[in-house]
Amino acid sequence: MSNVKNTIFDRPANSSTNANYRKTTEEDSQGWLEQFDKFWFSPVAPNTISLIRLLTGCLIFYITLCYSFELLAFVGPDGIVNQALADHFRKDTPMYVMAPEWTENTIEITKTNLSWSVFYHVTNPYWIWVFHLGFLTANLCMALGLFSRTSTIISWIGALAYVHRAPSGLFGMDAMIIILLFYMIIAPGGEIYSLDHYFQKLRRKKAGDPKWNEPPKPLVLSNFVTRMIQIHFCIIYFAAATSKLQGSSWWNGTALWGVLANYSFNPMHISVYTSLLVFLTKHKVLWEIIMTTGCIYTIVLESSFPFLVWNRNLKWIMISGSIMLHTGIGLLMGLTTFSLCMITLVLAFVPPEFIKILIDRYGMGPFRRSSV
Amino acid sequence: MNLLVKPTHWAATAIALTLLAFGFNTLFPDFVILRANLLVFGFIIGLSGFSIACAQRLHGKTSDGTLALTTFGLSLSLLITTNSMDASWDSLILASSVFTAVSFFVGIFVLLPLLAKKTTAICFVLFHFASIITAVTSIEPPNAPASWLATNLWAYYFRHYLTFAYLNNAYHFYSPEPGPPVLLWSKIQYEDGTFRWFKIPNRTESPIQMHYQRMLSVTESTNVASSHSPENWEEKLQRRNLAGLANQPQITPLNRSMSQSYMFKEPADYSKRMLASYALYLTKKFAHPSDKPNINIDNIKIYRVTHSIITPTDMSRGESALDPTLYYPYFMGSFDKNGNLIDPNDAFLYFLLPITRNANPNEPSVLNHSLNIHAGDVKIVPEKEGSNP
């Protein structure tokens, strides 16, 4: 098993062949084009992509719900970014690029950008709330898997409506949830772990179909979207790692302190957390070991993940390392939803068989295969 | 067969509804709400038809032809939608036009032979990830310009796609260095001399963590620094120091040996506009003192405060992360009730108002709180987060 040869087109998300190591020799003998074709277009069970849809639905529902506390401050005409300023940003903000000459000159290419949002045009608070509740309903349907594709597309439109209209309140989490939603509008996310699937089984059972309880068949589209999420995740990690390497604090091991002792991000108002930091600062060697190890862990994980996750033997180490990193970020830095988005993205590397076994064993209600 | 499971019927209904909206737009343009409702429902029904067709095609219950027909129906309804909107709904016209083109393209894609489908899908993948890579690489590295090729490719070829779908992030989290957070402290002064402080972000006033994080991002949006050096720097600094000395009590003068970027932080145009909009937002939110509805706002002073991260050395000595000297306030201007900057030539504008302690360890510790003095507060030592500084 240890001498198994892997290629970049190894199949971490693939279905039944994934665990079948004996097939590897056969795969190695295939041409580059065939492997490329298999990498993108071999059918895969939709369990992984459906679980991602479910989690994305829950996350976007929570994110949209959180706008409710001060909805008009974010998307109202007299909000933090008022109507006039929002229009200015999208219609009258010059954008420059460097000229194609050996000079410092720049060229203005446009004053407009392609931001779009229903909240640019709906300024009556009543109708703003109507749209907000409409988007919330779509998010809920997406999470439940009810009219999955329609609700996913409306959820994506809704998420972009807030993001474009309220640019001042955005952070990394918004970028991640939009990535998830973007891929979910292509994905067949309602094929399983959804009310759509549940009702479909119910109809088939009532119609006397003997195959009513068969699991959904593998789909090319599941694999295609899973691959896109995987590659996007690798780009995110690689960009995050290489940009960190530009900073001296990531090299001398002090960057983690800048993250952990940032009063505005961390739970430093909780005495246990602060006591722990004080304890560390009173033990310099321990402090240095923990801070340096944390920096090395972050950089090594982020920079190696895009390469090592494709290796069968290292895949689970990479996935576990990533989940640990984001759990830490979620717990220590208060960026819980951001971390959940990242963990949802990394789920794309988990084979559908694994998810199937996990949910068949521990799932509840309509998520269990024999639930009808 | 149940009519509701026929996707083409949904597409036809969507076309009918949007045509009705088009008719209203032509004959009764004032019936805006009715028209908008017809367009929204038309879109949802068209989309549902497309979704049903997709699901049926995935399960082999319908043909490529039916899926393509439904998709073309959706495309047609979107085309009608595009032409049924007011010109002022420009961003929605843009979105609708893009959706029309995408759905038309999907309709053609469905009809392609397998090899052409695969080739088209790979072309999309290449375009998609090339655009994301330009977004990642078109950011300026520290002390150097961004890649010419990446910025030009981004600006001319990929910007539209990335902006439209908000995929424009560079993923440079906590890099090159994790920086200190920025806070916004505002003193809202009423006509009767009363005032209130409003600070963001504020854990005690944010109902949930997400709201707190968003407020933290709002403060960051005011922290984009101007790329231009200030004109007549020496004169500006002298004016600021003289104004400080003339003030009662005096505001600590700034030492010329300090770096200019430390003493003076003029925001970029984007952040200036954000500050003005934020000031206007505060005038609406706190229009009157809570118990005096007839009293209006006189002015709002905004301070952008950098909260330095405590060093491990200081923490080991028992100092607090909330020590007032870790706060570096910069005066962002005084705004009137319409959100206009009252005096663009204010001597303190964009300058540091240092919070310091006396250096002599033999004397009792006295806090020299320039922000409080500048704001006209009577208090000298800042209180805990969430209350007046």
Domain range enclosing B65: 3-111
Instruction: Indicate whether B240 and B199 sit together in one domain.
Output: yes
CB B67 within 8 A of CB B54: yes
Give residue A10's pLDDT. Answer: 44
Q: What phi, psi does B304 have (nearest 5°)?
A: -95, 120
| Token pair belonging to A318 | 């990479």
The reply to whether omega before B145 is within 30° of 0 (cis) is no
Instruction: Indicate whether B125 and B101 sit together in one domain.
Output: no
ipTM above 0.90, yes or no: yes
Cα Dmax for chain B: 93
A231: nearest CA partner in chain B: B129
Instruction: Indicate whether B189 and B266 sit together in one domain.
Output: yes
- Where b means 16+ CB within 10 Å and e means fewer, B199-224 reads bbbeeeebeeebbbbbbbbbbbbbbe
Instruction: Indicate whether B198 and B343 sit together in one domain.
Output: yes
Instruction: Indicate whether B207 and B241 sit together in one domain.
Output: yes
Give residue A25's pLDDT. Answer: 58
Closest by CA to B52, choosing from A196, A218, A184, A136, is: A196
**How many alpha carbons fall within 13 Å on the CB side of residue A160?**
24
CA distance A366 to chain B (A): 19
Work out the burial of residue B234: count CB atoms within 10 Å of its CB; fewer than 13 is exposed, 13-18 middle, 19 or more buried. Answer: exposed
Q: Which residues pair with residue B299 across a beta bridge?
A: B189
Q: Given CB atoms, is A195 within the 8 Å cutoff of chain B?
A: no
Instruction: Indicate whether B138 and B205 sit together in one domain.
Output: no
Q: Indicate the number of domains in chain B.
A: 3
Helix (H) / strand (E) element for B57: namely helix B32-58
Give residue B383's pLDDT. Answer: 41
Residue B389 lies in a domain: no
Average pLDDT rounded to a whole number, residues B323-329: 95
Mutate to test the interface with A, among B217, B221, B302, B340 (most CBs of A within 10 A): B217
pLDDT tier, B358 (very low <50, low <70, confident <90, very high otherwise): confident
- At B173-219, the pLDDT tens digits run 988 899 999 999 999 999 998 999 999 999 999 999 999 999 999 99
- Number of residues in chain A: 372
Q: Tokens 């206007």 label which residue? A: B280
- List the domain boundaries for chain A: 47-227, 237-349
Question: Which DSSP category does B157 fall into?
Answer: I
Residue A255 to residue A244: CA distance in whole angstroms = 9
CA distance B58 to chain A (A): 8
Contact assignment for A258 to B309 by CB distance below 8 Å: yes
Helix (H) / strand (E) element for B299: namely strand B297-307
Q: Nearest CB to A247: which of B55, B165, B176?
A: B176
Q: With the CA atoms of A25, A31, A32 and A38 taken in that order, what torsion angle do they form, in degrees rounded to the nearest 10?
A: -70
Give residue B94's pLDDT. Answer: 97
Residue A145 to residue A50: CA distance in whole angstroms = 9
pLDDT tier, A365 (very low <50, low <70, confident <90, very high otherwise): low
Residue B174 lies in a domain: no
Give residue A28's pLDDT. Answer: 63
Average pLDDT over all residues of chain B: 92
Closest by CA to B169, choosing from A122, A138, A372, A176, is: A176
Give residue A135's pLDDT. Answer: 98
User: A161: alpha, beta or left, given left = phi > 0 and alpha = psi -120 to 50?
Assistant: alpha
Give residue B388's pLDDT. Answer: 42
Question: Which DSSP category does A214 fall into?
Answer: P
Instruction: Indicate whether B264 and B363 sit together in one domain.
Output: yes
SS3 of B376, please? Answer: coil
For residue A19, pLDDT over 50 is answered with no
Residue B16 to residue B193: CA distance in whole angstroms = 62
Closest by CA to B254, choosing from B267, B265, B264, is: B264
For B178, other C-beta atoms within 10 Å of its C-beta total 23
pLDDT tier, A283 (very low <50, low <70, confident <90, very high otherwise): very high
Residue A305 to residue B238: CA distance in whole angstroms = 54
Sign of CA dihedral B371, B211, A261, A167: negative
Report H helices in A94-194: 125-144, 148-165, 172-186
A–B CB contacts, 8 A cutoff, strictly below: 237
Instruction: Indicate whether B223 and B325 sit together in one domain.
Output: yes
Q: Nearest CB to A40: which of B122, B173, B213?
A: B122
Q: Find residues 335-364 of chain A whose CB sits inside 8 Å of chain B.
A: 335-337
**More confident position, A342 or A369:** A342
Q: Given CB atoms, is A267 within the 8 Å cutoff of chain B?
A: no
Helix (H) / strand (E) element for B306: namely strand B297-307
Residue B385 lies in a domain: no
Instruction: Indicate whether B119 and B60 sit together in one domain.
Output: no
Average pLDDT over all residues of chain A: 90
- At A56-112, the pLDDT tens digits run 999 999 999 999 999 999 999 999 999 999 999 999 988 889 888 888 888 999 888
Instruction: Indicate whether B210 and B197 sit together in one domain.
Output: yes
Residue A49 to residue A51: CA distance in whole angstroms = 5
Contact assignment for A97 to B210 by CB distance below 8 Å: no
Q: Find residues 75-114 of chain A whose CB sits inside 8 Å of chain B.
A: 78-82, 84-85, 88, 90, 93, 95, 97-98, 100, 109, 113-114
Q: Nearest CB to B208: which of A66, A73, A90?
A: A66
Q: Nearest CB to B166: which of A160, A196, A281?
A: A160
CA distance B43 to chain A (A): 10
Instruction: Indicate whether B306 and B202 sit together in one domain.
Output: yes
CB B328 within 8 A of CB B264: no
Q: Nearest CB to A228: which of B48, B125, B280?
A: B125
Instruction: Indicate whether B255 and B225 sit together in one domain.
Output: yes
pLDDT tier, A29 (very low <50, low <70, confident <90, very high otherwise): low
Residue B95 lies in a domain: yes
Lowest mean pLDDT among A15-29, A300-314, B269-283: A15-29
Q: Nearest CB to B155: which of A109, A117, A191?
A: A109
Q: Tokens 């410092």 label which residue? A: A104
